[in-house]
Chains A and B, each alone.
Chain A
Amino acid sequence: MIVSGEQGRRNTLPGFGLTMGLTLTWLSIIVLIPLAGLFIKTFELSWDQFIAIVTSRRTLNALKISFGLAFAAAAVNLVMGVVIVWALVRYRFPGRRIFDAIVDIPFALPTAVAGIALTSLFAQKGWLGAPLAELGIKVAFTPLGIFVAMIFIGIPFVVRTVQPVLIDLDTEIEEAAASLGANRWQIISRVILPSLIPAILTGFALAFARAIGEYGSVIFIAGNLPNVSEIAPLLIVIRLSEFRYADATAIAVVMLVAAFLIIFAVNRIQSWAQNRFPVH
């Protein structure tokens, strides 16, 4: 948010009309018109047709798989993200800086590369797949594989939203609590965790949203069996290749609305956190 009481002075710079016009034009061409096109296409369907597509068995299962596994993976990321942040911020250990840097790799590595690497890693003869197979656990080409890929893609979201908050957290409050006789667990659960919660929830929501829409890193390891291990984005691709545009569009709208709701929730969490902790 920018606060300026000097409205008059700001307008002395040239180029507002031109740059704003260009911005709105380019934004419309690349983002707004294509997105509007998707919704217009959906309105060509009647409500009953839309419901019939979305509630057909295969679509419903694909949506369940995408949303359910994304939620579970984001939950794992929530817990492990906090553990990782805690280790990186509060402790010193050999290789800490390197581990801090590699947290960003799931952001930076192209999804197709992540996809084939995870598949080979967890395949029956893979480095991790072979020992897991001996334990009777099959990861690649099962829903468990989708789960693993979604965990991979979501790690940085929780770590990178929680980390700066924990770094900025004033340790004086902890010392005050300690001097008042609180034990370590009380300090963590009553002093530290509450101030991390908005960041944790934001990271969770971002990881969840990313995993729902994720395609490249999932499809190689998924197995892609309809109703079992077929994610919603893949079903969109399949419907497109069958020229069933209406089906593809209806699934896309459901996913897009969900994504926008999550972004809305994140914004609410942020403003709630700002009201609760006005310092930030």
Chain B
Amino acid sequence: MKWLLTILILVVYVLHQDYWFWGNRSLVLGFMPVGLAYHAAYAVLVSVMMAILVKFAWPKHLEDTESEFPDSGEVGTHA
């Protein structure tokens, strides 16, 4: 699984370098430059990638971290 996730991250990184749209001036839906539309969709793709990472690579063991330092001491409130 670790390797699959690593490959996923690398693939998404490579997709950021969209040389194929570099000089393309066409419009998507009649108003959105294609290069801009691609990168907007890319942001959604990254969000999906992060959801996959949270699902399969979440550092769950850190959730139960216990405090080992003394309380800094409350001096009172301003309420």
A complexed with B: no
